[in-house]
Amino acid sequence: MPMTMAEKILAAHCGRDEVRAGELISCRLDFVMSNDVTAPLAIQEFRRLGVERVFDAQRVAFIPSHFIPNKDIQSAENAKLMREFALEQGTVYYEQGRAGVDHVLLPDDGWVLPGDAVVGADSHTCTYGALGCFATGMGSTDVACAMATGDIWMRVPASIKFVYKGRPGRWVGGKDIILHTIGDIGVDGALYCAMEFHGEALGEIGMEGRFTISNMAIEAGGKAGLMVPDDVTLDYVRPRAKREWTVYQPDPDALYQEVREYDVSALEPMVALPSSPANAVPLSKAPPVEIDQVFIGSCTNGRLADLRLAAEVIDGRKVHPRVRCIVIPASHDVYLQALREGLLETFAEAGCAVSTTTCGPCLGGYMGILAEGERCVSTSNRNFPGRMGHARSEVYLANPAVAAASAVAGRLAGPEEVTR
Amino acid sequence: MSLRGHVHRYGANVDTDAIIPARYLNINDAQELAEHCMEDIDAEFVARVQPGDIIVADTNFGCGSSREHAPLCIKAAGVSCIIAKSFARIFYRNSINIGLPILECDEAVEGTESGDELEVELESGTIRNLTRGRMFQAKPYPDFMLELMGAGGLVEYTKRRLAGRSG
């Protein structure tokens, strides 16, 4: 029987020739991750299991990312608990100053690879699907048990195939493609499903734009967001991989719940208006609202290509006097490379606040919290009420070029308008 | 097991930021988290909720982040059960894993208002609206889920599996 990408990978991880959507399986795992928000509960549940050691220390990672550098005493206690457990078990661990936003760091350092089955105690674990692996977010208890046993129960998801045709325009990238898709299918449009992304447009946007697309699969309710590895993927993976990997491809006649096609040639930069990622509209249809803050960063758009794009727009210009523009490279390596390329200087010259790596404001943790009534244009992934601060603050999701242009204009604006 | 309580009714896409905002995510104690349950969308919820009460919501309840703090704080607030048309999948797993019963039933959601008194039989999935004299049938749990819940949640279930492996 022909299989989808998800079915192929999951069959290989439960010792079967084939699996079908809807089946319950026990899935062998190649990698399990957790971060400073979800690890304390996971470690507590791991202890309750009465197990001495994690199943394989080189396949378990703890990444300080959300409230780092520790924002208060309670966060410091959580980070300490996680660090001590990681050191005791000898797992993969990065200390602050080398760490980064988990979903940028783990692929960049070659811990998660094509063909893997990965679970993480963070909903954006689906990011890794861009590599051609099956990666999905779970809660702390699931991840605690996964760390102990190296497997997890899973229902094989049905798959929806998304085909992106055409060549995206100058200021259009992965963020716009996925916001357009979520706007089309809704925040539960792919509930319980694997999203399988295809099409020539993916060949145009590089690995970083692909991560952005898979990253937001969860924003449509998706269980995973998979892509088929190509030369771009393997050129990215080869110098980084910590171990062997496997390339899987879906069968041409695999059974999909649905197939959706988009032509991205005419796609504009997209903006998700408050307060749902599905409230996506083309920038030209978005109201030119005055803004108070811009955030450029996160596991969605805090990679080097994102910073280059934002710097290109903001170079030689100034952040609007009324606006604070917060730029946070999503990992220490991204930070260092951005420093070497002069991007951080460009941002600082323009009047941006440039920070060490953290998830920080994306989830309303710290480093850029909104007051009542304030508006932020953000390159992150969610804009639910109160996501970035006060319950009556507003977040507009956009790509890094739109975010940078808005910082200069002091209102929601496009890069063409600012760089003209 | 029979549950009985009054309904707190919500709409579609209640997200985990609404259930427990990230500013409280450095708290690990369920009771302490419960003091802030739903506060950004329903500031009176914590004062109003009584032990045994039931949350009834539209589609995609619990969407957004993987934070287990969300079902933990709902359970610690005294809620005995959540009934929705559908749940976000991570929230669904988390709730089953920690022993917070959740049921999917379109008709019960349509036929229920805030303040109604419900009686829920978990094994059969029968939902009675005592206020309106109506009865609904939730989607049955898959057998595996019943086994997991019967074991007392995922940790107890996994303990048994591990004991089986070494024995």
For residue A27, the model assigns a pLDDT of 98
Interval A39-61 mean pLDDT = 97
**pTM over the 0.80 mark:** yes
Burial of A227 (0-12, 13-18, 19+ CB in 10 A): buried
Instruction: Quote the minimal CA–CA distance from B161 to chain A in Å.
Output: 9
Interval B63-86 mean pLDDT = 97
Of A7-11, A264-268, B63-67, B159-163, the least confident: B159-163
For residue B111, the model assigns a pLDDT of 97
**A205 pLDDT higher than 80:** yes
- Stated as kind and residue range, the H or E segment containing B55 is strand B54-57
Decide if A145 touches B, using CB distance below 8 A.
yes
Rg (CA), chain A: 20
Which residue of B25, B37, B91, B100 to mutate against A (max A Cβ within 10 Å)?
A: B25
Cβ pairs A/B, distance under 8 A? 132
Cα(A415)–Cα(A406) distance, integer angstroms:
8
Interval A363-375 mean pLDDT = 97
When CB atoms are compared, the residue of A142, A223, A365 closest to B97 is A142
Which residue of A81, A140, A219 to mutate against B (max B Cβ within 10 Å)?
A: A140
For residue B164, the model assigns a pLDDT of 86
When CB atoms are compared, the residue of A48, A50, A78 closest to B26 is A78
Decide if A221 touches B, using CB distance below 8 A.
yes
Decide if A320 touches B, using CB distance below 8 A.
no
Instruction: Give the percent of chain B with pLDDT over 90.
Output: 84
* Residue positions counted in chain A: 420
pLDDT tens readout for residues A401-414 = 999 999 999 999 99
Identify the band that residue B1 occupies on the pLDDT scale cut at 50, 70 and 90.
Answer: confident
Instruction: Give the percent of chain A with pLDDT over 70.
Output: 100
Q: Which residue of A has its CA nearest to B153?
A: A141
What is the value of ipTM here, to two decimals? 0.96
**A123 pLDDT higher than 80:** yes
Instruction: Quote the minimal CA–CA distance from A299 to chain B in Å.
Output: 13
Instruction: Give the percent of chain A with pLDDT over 90.
Output: 99
State whether B66 and A137 contact (CB < 8 Å). Answer: yes
Identify the band that residue A96 occupies on the pLDDT scale cut at 50, 70 and 90.
Answer: confident
**B167 pLDDT higher than 60:** no
For residue A122, the model assigns a pLDDT of 98
For residue B166, the model assigns a pLDDT of 67
Interval B115-124 mean pLDDT = 94
Six token digits for residue A417? 């308008």
Instruction: Quote the minimal CA–CA distance from A240 to chain B in Å.
Output: 28
Cα(A45)–Cα(A146) distance, integer angstroms:
11
For residue B149, the model assigns a pLDDT of 84
State whether B23 and A365 contact (CB < 8 Å). Answer: yes
pLDDT tens readout for residues A326-338 = 999 999 999 999 9
State whether A223 and B15 contact (CB < 8 Å). Answer: no
Contacts of A50 in chain B (CB under 8 A): 159
**A216 pLDDT higher than 80:** yes
* Cα-based distances in Å from B161 to A143, A144, A235, A376, B136: 16, 14, 41, 48, 35
More confident residue, A420 or B62: B62
State whether A139 and B93 contact (CB < 8 Å). Answer: yes
State whether A37 and B26 contact (CB < 8 Å). Answer: yes
For residue A134, the model assigns a pLDDT of 98
Chain B contacts to A (CB-CB under 8 A): 13, 15, 17-18, 21-23, 25-28, 40-41, 59-60, 63-69, 71-72, 86, 88-90, 93-94, 97-98, 142, 144, 148, 153-155, 158-159, 161-162
Q: Which residue of A has its CA nearest to B156?
A: A49
For residue A387, the model assigns a pLDDT of 96
In the numeric block, the tokens 């600012």 are attached to A418
Strands A280-282 and A270-272 come out as antiparallel
For residue B142, the model assigns a pLDDT of 82
Contacts of A41 in chain B (CB under 8 A): 28, 68-69, 72
For residue B147, the model assigns a pLDDT of 87
pLDDT tens readout for residues A11-46 = 999 999 999 999 999 999 999 999 999 999 999 999
State whether A40 and B97 contact (CB < 8 Å). Answer: no
Q: What is the DSSP letter of B101?
A: -
Six token digits for residue B20? 């427990």
